[in-house]
Chain A
Amino acid sequence: MIPAPFEYRRASTAEEALKLAADAGDDGKYLAGGHSLLPLMKLRLAQPEVIIDIGRLRDLSYVRDEGDQIAIGALTRHHDLVRSELLARELPLLAHAASQVGDPQIRHRGTVGGSLAHGDPASDLPAVLLALDATLVSRGPSGSREIGVGEFFSGLFETALQPGELLTEIRVSKPAQRGWSFQKFTKRAIDWAIVGVAVQGRQVALVNMGSTPLRAGAVEQALAGGASPREAAAQASEGTNPVGDINASPAYREHLARVLVARGLEEAASRA
């Protein structure tokens, strides 16, 4: 399978990327690791006319300790998240979840920013960063802005990013509650989660339980009200709208969410 024809442009700086995107207008698309976009282009489900390769913006690949926050460059690859000693120490949820994305070859190419900007509710890292209350930093033609991750995902494969806007950094406050867990239910190791759950302290987010990654608000409220992990997990499907597909019916996904949230809360409690 071969993508539809497009023009390839390569940016060597963020400024150049923004300019190339402005020139391309609605026909342009950023390419980071390409492991979400290129498969869609090969299936002709995406047919951008201009590809702007940002994969060589090495200055957007980093994990930094900035006091009470961790700053992560948008072009940091999954493989680099897995290997980061800083993340292993401060955000083990993110480091571990990154190790569960795809397979080694995919982790050598895919980037955290690409995963967020793609806006696939079945991806692992968007829900993880939702559980971590991350702040996303972007650059557009009119300058930089910060977007709370809770306002970032607007629909299936839709985000708050405007055409030409470039995600540059993810900022995460070091969690006060240290217990964490990542639960991912798949048929085969390399598959997307049928359902996934990210837990940091008492913050819980769900993978593949609706058109965007979701916070399990009812679970969090129950925990705040003193419910046990098992009692709180019974609320896990509240407010979700999972799809039915070849892997699972909506009812089975709701069941999985309750089971995986219970496991996640118990594992997080054991690590607190």
Chain B
Amino acid sequence: MKVAVTVNGRQVAAEVEDRMLLVHFLREVADLTATNVGCDTTSCGACTVLLDGESVKSCTVLAAQADGSEVTTCEGLAGADGQMHPVQLAFRAEHGLQCGFCTPGMVMAAVSLLAENPNPTEEQVRSSLEGNLCRCTGYHNIVRAVLAAAGDTQAGALAEVASAVSGKDAP
């Protein structure tokens, strides 16, 4: 069937099999491979994207179900000038990743949380990431990153984070 999805602001339309999953549409049709397939059983959250602004596991959504919708993947978070999203900057600053496989899903789950609850408690961050598994078990820094992103977004201190990051990680 013909499926048309607005992915990161770009219209992507293709004739696909009725059974195609959204994650495969994103990776193989839209050619956006940040979204990973981890467990493929709705457990690990590596394939999390925003569907009309809310986090979903794209391995458990048919491309056909997303027809006409807006999808945001990790590639779509940075600004037009290439400036990373506050959540991405905070993951970098707080070392919220080790191997990085779960990271795009973690970031998208965090973006979805902060859109609904801009000032979460640590407990709320932890429970909102229940659907995202990190096999490196780096959860403490991931939670720290989300809390930092929340604080920075709130205080408008994005620039500070950015300069801290470039100071620390400059080659």
Q: Which residues in A have some Cβ–Cβ distance to B below 8 Å?
A: 1-8, 10, 31, 34-35, 38-39, 42, 51, 53, 55, 79, 102-106, 108-109, 189-190
Let me know if B60 and A109 touch, CB within 8 A.
Answer: yes
Let me know if A8 and B62 touch, CB within 8 A.
Answer: yes
Let me know if B42 and A35 touch, CB within 8 A.
Answer: yes
Q: List 23 A-B contacts (CB under 8 A).
A: A2-B21, A8-B18, A8-B64, A10-B64, A31-B62, A34-B61, A34-B65, A35-B60, A38-B42, A53-B62, A53-B64, A55-B65, A102-B131, A103-B130, A104-B109, A104-B130, A105-B109, A106-B57, A109-B56, A189-B127, A189-B130, A190-B43, A190-B131
* Residue among A4, A5, A104 making CB contact with B131, cutoff 8 Å: A104
Q: How far apart are B55's CB and chain A's nearest CB, in angstroms?
A: 5
* Residue among A5, A35, A38 making CB contact with B17, cutoff 8 Å: A5
Contact with A along B49-78 (1 / 0, CB 8 A): 001001111001110110100000000000
Q: What 10 A-B pairs have minimum CB-CB distances, sorted nearest first?
A: A103-B131, A8-B18, A189-B130, A103-B130, A108-B54, A3-B19, A105-B131, A105-B57, A8-B64, A105-B55
A-B contacts at CB below 8 angstroms, number: 78
Let me know if A104 and B112 touch, CB within 8 A.
Answer: yes
In the bound assembly, the distance between CA atoms of A3 and B17 in angstroms comes to 11
Let me know if A104 and B65 touch, CB within 8 A.
Answer: no
Q: How far apart are A24's CB and chain B's nearest CB, in angstroms?
A: 13
* Residue among A34, A102, A106 making CB contact with B62, cutoff 8 Å: A34
In the bound assembly, the distance between CA atoms of A218 and B89 in angstroms comes to 57
B128 within 8 A of A: yes
Across-interface contacts of B1 in A (CB, < 8 A): 8
Across-interface contacts of A2 in B (CB, < 8 A): 19, 21, 24
In the bound assembly, the distance between CA atoms of A109 and B112 in angstroms comes to 14
Contact with A along B7-29 (1 / 0, CB 8 A): 00000000001110100100000
B40 within 8 A of A: yes
Let me know if A106 and B61 touch, CB within 8 A.
Answer: no
Please give me the residue from chain A that is nearest to B43 by CB atom: A190
Across-interface contacts of A103 in B (CB, < 8 A): 45, 130-132
8 A Cβ contacts from B101-139 to A: 109, 112-113, 127-128, 130-132
Across-interface contacts of B64 in A (CB, < 8 A): 8, 10, 53
* Residue among B21, B42, B65, B128 making CB contact with A106, cutoff 8 Å: B42
Q: Which residues in B have some Cβ–Cβ distance to A below 8 Å?
A: 1, 17-19, 21, 24, 40-43, 45, 48, 51, 54-57, 60-62, 64-65, 67, 109, 112-113, 127-128, 130-132
In the bound assembly, the distance between CA atoms of A189 and B139 in angstroms comes to 14
Across-interface contacts of A35 in B (CB, < 8 A): 42, 60
In the bound assembly, the distance between CA atoms of A189 and B113 in angstroms comes to 17
* Residue among B41, B60, B67, B130 making CB contact with A34, cutoff 8 Å: B60
Across-interface contacts of B18 in A (CB, < 8 A): 5-8, 51
Across-interface contacts of B132 in A (CB, < 8 A): 103
Please give me the residue from chain B that is nearest to A39 by CB atom: B42
* Residue among B54, B55, B130 making CB contact with A190, cutoff 8 Å: B130
Across-interface contacts of A5 in B (CB, < 8 A): 17-19
In the bound assembly, the distance between CA atoms of A128 and B37 in angstroms comes to 33
Across-interface contacts of A3 in B (CB, < 8 A): 19
Let me know if A38 and B60 touch, CB within 8 A.
Answer: yes
Across-interface contacts of A108 in B (CB, < 8 A): 51, 54-56
Given A105-B55, A105-B131, A38 and B62 contact (CB-CB distance below 8 Å): yes
10 extra A-B contacts, CB within 8 A, seeds A6-B19, A104-B131, A105-B55:
A5-B19, A10-B64, A34-B61, A34-B62, A42-B40, A103-B131, A103-B132, A105-B56, A106-B131, A108-B54
Please give me the residue from chain A that is nearest to B54 by CB atom: A108
Across-interface contacts of A190 in B (CB, < 8 A): 43, 130-131
Q: Which of the listed residues B61, B109, B112, B128 has the most CB atoms from chain A within 10 Å of its own CB?
A: B61
Across-interface contacts of A104 in B (CB, < 8 A): 55, 109, 112-113, 128, 130-131
